[in-house]
Amino acid sequence: MRNRNHRNPLAIGFLVLGAFFILFPMYMAIMVSLKNPQELGQSILGWPRRIFWSNFPQAMAATHYTHAFENSLFITAFAVILTILTNSMVAYAIARNMHRRFFKYLYYYFFAAMFVPFPIIMLPLVRQMSHIGLADRVGLIILYVVYGISFNVFVYVGYLRSVPMELEEAALVDGAGRWRIFWGIIFPLMGPMNATVGILAALWAWNDFLLPLVMLGNPNQFTLPLMQYALQGQYSTNYSEAFASYLMALLPMIIVYVVAQKWIINGVTQGSIK
């Protein structure tokens, strides 16, 4: 029975149990990464007798960590900024003209594209992108921005419908152009949605595996997940080094999450229920 005055022991017990399941793989990863192969052979889950921090710098060197990190950051940063700036604009134009046939169809066109599975685009896309010399990081950024349109327009339009038109109309009477209205009034008004779109784009670009896998040929441009995949063989039987590199690949996102978790959770929720 729901009782607002007493804590619910059943719920707490359940959540603690669930927390154990979430944390266990992480705990194991940390334990494995801190041991040397001999001790790992004896015990996987126990606390290390001696901590081998050296696994981390070794893994960093083996996986070209700083390089991959820079690539991931470069791709994610540009994907997020360009997505917010361009997709919001497209959505604005559509939202304010939904009564016109062209914009309405445009909206449905973008929406329908959401259901096209990536595998069908994958094979021809790779050839097309390399043909125009864009099978690289820059091409990847363009794809994130362009493919993001489908979902983001949907999210932005939902939000823009709730933004009253009066402000724009007043500005229009004052002689402001559409561009100035958008950048001066509407874009700042969409702040919360921009945050949502930005967070989702960041999570996508940072963690994505399949698109970089098929697009990037030059190992200098590999992102963190792709580097993990490409260098799986490198660790051979040295699991400690492998896990050190796994943890380092996850760490940037975990730090960002710990700092900005409230934003991220709100952002993701907003994006999905709008």
Partner 1 sequence: MKQETKLLAVGVTIAGMVVGCGANTNTNSTTPNSGNSTNTGSAQTVPQVQLNFLQNKPEVVTQWNKIIQEFHKKNPNITVKQVNPPNTDTELQADVAKGQVPDIIAMGADATFIQMANNGIFKSLAGRPELAKVSPSYTKMLEAEVGKSTPFALPYTANAVPIIYNQTLFKKYHVAVPTTWNQLIAVAKKIKAAGGTPFYNGWKDSWTIAVPWNALATNEEPANFFTQLKANKTSFTKALPTAAARMKQLSSLGNSNEFGTDYNDANSGFANGKGAMYLQGTWVLPVLRQANPNVKLGTFVFPATNQPSKTKMVSGIDSLLALANSGNSTKEQAAMKFVDFLLQPAVATEYANVAGMFSPVKGAKMQDAALRPLQSYITAGRVVDFADHYYPPAMAAGDQYESLLQGALSKNQSAKSILQQMDTLYKQSAAHE
Partner 2 sequence: MFRMRLSWAYIWMTIPALGLFMYFHTWPTLHGLMYSFTNWNGFGPFQWIGFSNYAALFKDPQVIHSYLFTFQFAVVTVILVNVLSLIIALALNSKIVLPKTFKALYFMPYVLSTLVVSYIFNYLFSNVEPSVASALHLTNLAQNILGTNWAWVGIVIVACWQGVAFNTILYLAGLQTIPEEVYEASMIDGASPWTNFWKVTFPLIAPFFTINMVLAAKNYLQVFDQIVALTNGGPGTATQSVAFVIYTNGFGGGELAYQSANAAVFLIILILIALLQVRVLQGREVQL
- Give the E-state strand segments of the chain in sequence order: none
State in angstroms the smallest separation of the CB of 34 from partner 2: 14
State in angstroms the smallest separation of the CB of 236 from partner 1: 6
Please list every residue from 220 through 239 that binds partner 2, using CB under 8 A: 224-225, 228-229, 232, 239
Query: Would you say 13 or 41 has its CB closer to partner 1?
Result: 41
In angstroms, the CA 70 to CA 74 distance is: 6
State in angstroms the smallest separation of the CB of 38 from partner 1: 9
Does the protein bind partner 2 through residue 207 (CB under 8 A)?
A: yes
Does the protein bind partner 2 through residue 1 (CB under 8 A)?
A: yes
Does the protein bind partner 2 through residue 51 (CB under 8 A)?
A: no
State in angstroms the smallest separation of the CB of 250 from partner 1: 20
Cα–Cα distances (Å) from 7 to 14, 27, 245, in that order, read 13, 29, 41
The count of residues interacting with partner 2 (CB under 8 A) is 92
User: CA dihedral in degrees (28, 29, 32, 35; nearest 10)?
Assistant: -120
Q: Exposed, middle or buried by CB within 10 Å (0-12, 13-18, 19+), for 274?
A: middle
Q: Exposed, middle or buried by CB within 10 Å (0-12, 13-18, 19+), for 92?
A: buried
Q: Which of 69, 92, 159, 222 binds partner 2 (CB under 8 A)?
A: 92
In angstroms, the CA 138 to CA 135 distance is: 8
Q: Which of 62, 121, 185, 189 binds partner 2 (CB under 8 A)?
A: 121
Q: Which of 32, 157, 195, 231 binds partner 2 (CB under 8 A)?
A: 32
Does the protein bind partner 2 through residue 261 (CB under 8 A)?
A: yes
In angstroms, the CA 196 to CA 183 distance is: 18
Longest dimension (CA), the chain: 78
The count of other CB atoms within 10 Å of the CB of residue 223 is: 29
The contact set with partner 1 (CB under 8 A) reads: 37, 41, 74, 78, 123, 126-138, 141-142, 213-214, 217-220, 229-237, 239
In angstroms, the CA 56 to CA 248 distance is: 8
Does the protein bind partner 2 through residue 203 (CB under 8 A)?
A: yes
Interacting stretch for partner 2, rule CB under 8 A, among 59-67, 77-85, 101-109, 187-195? 101-109
State in angstroms the smallest separation of the CB of 85 from partner 2: 11
